Amino acid sequence: ATGLPKGRWFLQWTEGVSGKRQVRGQLLDRDLAAAGDALRLSPESANSGQGVVWAEGDRVISMFLVSTGKTHELWAQSLSCR
């Protein structure tokens, strides 16, 4: 999780079964209630996880690993949380 202006938060997690995990994220308001729908951040068909988030103002960078067979790639998503 990372803090945002106006008391808001961005929460990131990994969910799914082994070999089919996805990275998801959710904007939370100052009362920690969901502010909108959860987002799928990783590719739908890829096995992903081990994420971390970083914020600067209203911008969030989500970074996570995507399995490419025997190795992993570092992927990132940039989000505007206004």
> For 45-61, what is the mean pLDDT?
95
Please tell me the distance from the alpha carbon of residue 11 to that of residue 57, in angstroms, as a whole number: 15
Q: What is the CA radius of gyration of the chain?
A: 13
**The predicted structure's pLDDT at residue 57:** 94
Please tell me the distance from the alpha carbon of residue 57 to that of residue 42, in angstroms, as a whole number: 23
> For 6-12, what is the mean pLDDT?
96
CA–chain centroid gap for 40, Å, is: 7
**The predicted structure's pLDDT at residue 69:** 86
> For 36-58, what is the mean pLDDT?
94
Tokens, residue 46: 């890829």
**The predicted structure's pLDDT at residue 41:** 96
Please tell me the distance from the alpha carbon of residue 4 to that of residue 25, in angstroms, as a whole number: 14
